[in-house]
C-alpha cells in the first residue's frame, strides 16, 4: 500500500507553518484559483495559480505572515488636578485706635465766703409817722392790760403836745447834741400839755431815740425796747394814768451811730387830767 506523502510545507525563514493551517489555507484557496493570476481572499492570503491546475501551482501558496496579537497597554485616564480655589482674603479693616480719654477734673474755684448782707434800714419818708404813733398808743394799752391795769384813752391834745416836743428837740439838734436833758427843753411836759389845752394834773413824758435797723421800726418794737428800762416801764404802768398821746418822727440825722441807718424819735405823753 502506497504511503501517502505528506504535502510539502513551504518554509519561510523565521516562520513556522503548522500542517493544519496549511491544509485550511489550501482548501480555502482552491476555489479561488480560477482564471489564473494572483487572487487574494479577505484574509490576505495570496495564491499564485494557473488554469492548468497543476499541483505545482496549487502547492505554491504563500501563507500570510502571522500577525502578532496586539498588546494593549491600559493607559490610565489622567487624573484631573484640582484647580486650587482661591478665596479672596478680605483686607483687614483698620480699627481706629481710640485715644484714651483723659478726664480732667474741673478746677474748683475757691468758694468765697458769703458776706452776710447788712440789714438795710427801711426806706422812709422823713417826717412824722402818724401810723407808727397810733401803734405806740395801742402797744402801751396792751402792756397795761397784760399787767392788770386800766386801758388809757388816746387824747389828741396829748398827741399834739408830743409832736411839739419832737419838733423842739429836732430844732436844738437832738439827737446830735445830747449834752443836755431833753426833758427840760420847751418848759417841761406839764407846760407843754397845758399849752395845747389839756388840763394836766400829772404828766409823764417818755422820750425814745433809736436806729431804724432795730426792732424799733414799729410801734410794738418801740414799746418793747422802752420796757427794758425800769424808769420808762414804771412811767407807762402808772396806775393813776388816764390818757395817752404819742408822736413819732423818722428820718436821717448826722449823729453817729444813727447815720446812715436813720433815726426814730418818739415822745410819749401819758397824763392824768386835773378833774
Domain boundaries, the chain: 127-273
Average pLDDT on 80-93 reads: 62
Q: What percent of the chain has pLDDT over 70?
A: 47
Q: Give me the torsion for CA of 117, 118, 122, 128, rounded to 10°.
A: 180
Question: Which is it for strands 61-62 and 153-154: parallel, antiparallel or unpaired?
Answer: unpaired
Q: In terms of pLDDT, which residue wins out, 212 or 42?
A: 212
Residue pointed to by grid coordinates 488636578:
81
61-70 mean pLDDT: 54
Instruction: Summarize pLDDT for 119-164 with one digit per residue, the tens.
Output: 554 566 788 999 999 999 999 999 999 999 999 999 999 999 999 9
CA distances from 267 to 54, 188, 192 (A): 198, 12, 12
Q: Which residue is listed with cell 412824722?
A: 128
- Give the lowest-confidence range in 24-38, 69-83, 204-218: 24-38
Let me know if domain 127-273 sits in CATH 3.40.50.720.
no
Percentage above 90 pLDDT, the chain? 30
Phi-psi region of 262 (alpha: psi -120 to 50; beta: other; left: phi over 0): left
Q: Which residues contact 26 (CB under 8 A, 6 or more apart)?
A: 7, 58, 59, 61
Find the helix or strand (DSSP H, E) in which 59 lies.
Answer: helix 55-59
Q: 199-222 burial, b for 16+ CB within 10 Å, e for fewer?
A: ebebbbbbbbbbebbeebbbbbbb
Residue 2 confidence (pLDDT): 47
What is the band of 216 on the pLDDT scale with cuts at 50, 70, 90? low
For range 222-251, the mean pLDDT: 93
Whole-number pLDDT of residue 74? 57
Q: What is the pLDDT of residue 55?
A: 47
What band does 33 get if pLDDT is binned at 50, 70 and 90?
very low
Helix (H) or strand (E) holding 194: helix 189-195
Amino acid at each position: 500500500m502506497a504511503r501517502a506523502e505528506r504535502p510539502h510545507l513551504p518554509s519561510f525563514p523565521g516562520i513556522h507553518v503548522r500542517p493544519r493551517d496549511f491544509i485550511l489555507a489550501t482548501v480555502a484557496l482552491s476555489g479561488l484559483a480560477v482564471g489564473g493570476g494572483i487572487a487574494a481572499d479577505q484574509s490576505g492570503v495570496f495564491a499564485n495559480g494557473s488554469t492548468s491546475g497543476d499541483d505545482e501551482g496549487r502547492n505554491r501558496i504563500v501563507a500570510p505572515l502571522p500577525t502578532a496579537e496586539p498588546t494593549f497597554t491600559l493607559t490610565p485616564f489622567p487624573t484631573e488636578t484640582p484647580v486650587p480655589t482661591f478665596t479672596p482674603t478680605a483686607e483687614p479693616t483698620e480699627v481706629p485706635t481710640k485715644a484714651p480719654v483723659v478726664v480732667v477734673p474741673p478746677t474748683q474755684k475757691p468758694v468765697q465766703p458769703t458776706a452776710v448782707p447788712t440789714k438795710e434800714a427801711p426806706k422812709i419818708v422823713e417826717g412824722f409817722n402818724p401810723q407808727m404813733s397810733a401803734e405806740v398808743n395801742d402797744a402801751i394799752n396792751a402792756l397795761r392790760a397784760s399787767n392788770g391795769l386800766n386801758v388809757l384813752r388816746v387824747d389828741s391834745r396829748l398827741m399834739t403836745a408830743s409832736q411839739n416836743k419832737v419838733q423842739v428837740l429836732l430844732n436844738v439838734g437832738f439827737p446830735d447834741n445830747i449834752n443836755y436833758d431833753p426833758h427840760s427843753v420847751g418848759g417841761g411836759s406839764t407846760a407843754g400839755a397845758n399849752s395845747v389845752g389839756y388840763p394836766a394834773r400829772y404828766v409823764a413824758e417818755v422820750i425814745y431815740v433809736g436806729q431804724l435797723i432795730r426792732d424799733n421800726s414799729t410801734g410794738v418794737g418801740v414799746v418793747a425796747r422802752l420796757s427794758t428800762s425800769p424808769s420808762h416801764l414804771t412811767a407807762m404802768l402808772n396806775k393813776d394814768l388816764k390818757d395817752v398821746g404819742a408822736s413819732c418822727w423818722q428820718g436821717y440825722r448826722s449823729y453817729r451811730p444813727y447815720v446812715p441807718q436813720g433815726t426814730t424819735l418818739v415822745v410819749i405823753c401819758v397824763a392824768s387830767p386835773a378833774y
